[in-house]
Amino acid sequence: MGEHYDYPELWELLRKLVAAKQSGTLFIKSDDAHASMISLRQGEITSIFHQSKQGQPAMEALRQIAGGTYRFDPNATGIASGKCPPTPEILRALAPDGPRPADVSAGTDSDAAPLVDEAALETFLIELKEHLQAHLGPIAPMLLEETLAQSGKPGRTDQARSLIDRLAEEIEDEKEASAFVGAARDSLRKAFGSAG
């Protein structure tokens, strides 16, 4: 169908189509051969489908894909769907480290409070690296650096928790991974109050 993209690249492509006020349909075939379709009209997302699901259920399913191939057809206008949330909500919900789509639609923003204090964020990241190093040794700083390069520094508390969870996946021993998550979330709470 087209070039292979991983999920963050697919999301970035969609974000760029919206920013450029494009009209057309983005067709996606996931790595596990599921079809998705996102239609745009002048930069506004008018419908979103994943297999037989549409709207929020389609967003939930789309968020689960690892990647796939895509084709953008500016001549395919798609069908406007009444089940489609506003474009900013869709982009936020589909962001690789954003809140789950159900959380965005429900308006539960308390877990997505911004991390406004840059000094506290730096302190948190230093402590996060130390916690990771306790479990993974000298590879920890490089792993943290690579993960931040892919996702960027967390700008909200939900993104910081997502970062912690992604790093925990690198720790094979479940008890150690759990200990890492507990210590990292303590550091998040310490840096940003009740946010962790």
pLDDT tens column, 110-156: 455 666 678 888 899 999 999 999 999 999 999 999 888 887 888 77
pLDDT value of position 82: 60
For residue 190, what are the CA distances in angstroms to 91, 117, 183, 196? 30, 13, 10, 8
Q: Are residues 104 and 172 in the same domain?
A: no
Terminal CA-CA length for the chain: 42
Residue bearing the bigger pLDDT, 153 or 15: 15
pLDDT value of position 73: 92
The yes-or-no verdict on residue 35 having pLDDT over 80 is: yes
| Lowest mean pLDDT, pick from 20-29, 79-88, 118-127, 165-174 | 79-88
Kindly report, residue by residue over 45-101, the tens digit of the pLDDT.
999 988 888 888 888 888 888 888 999 999 987 666 666 788 888 888 888 876 554
Smallest Cα–Cα separation from 127: which of 193, 196, 188?
Answer: 188
Count of domains in the chain? 2
Q: Are residues 34 and 101 in the same domain?
A: yes
What average pLDDT does range 17-26 have in this prediction? 93
- Six token digits for residue 1: 């169908």
What average pLDDT does range 171-188 have in this prediction? 92
Task: Provide the domain limits for residue 125.
Answer: 118-195
Q: Are residues 126 and 45 in the same domain?
A: no
Please answer whether residues 7 and 69 qualify as being in contact, where contact means their C-beta atoms are separated by less than 8 angstroms.
no
What average pLDDT does range 176-188 have in this prediction? 93
Give the model's confidence band at 107: pLDDT under 50 very low, under 70 low, under 90 confident, else very high.
Answer: very low
Q: Are residues 97 and 122 in the same domain?
A: no
Give the model's confidence band at 104: pLDDT under 50 very low, under 70 low, under 90 confident, else very high.
Answer: very low
Which of 108, 131, 160 corresponds to the end of one domain?
108
Beta-bridge mates of residue 30 = 68
Residue 113 located in a structural domain: no
**Residue 102 backbone phi and psi in degrees, to 5:** -65, -35
Q: Are residues 87 and 136 in the same domain?
A: no
- Six token digits for residue 191: 């840096």
The yes-or-no verdict on residue 157 having pLDDT over 70 is: yes
25: alpha, beta or left? (left if phi > 0; alpha if psi -120 to 50): beta
Task: Give the side-chain half-sphere CA count within 13 A for 76.
Answer: 11
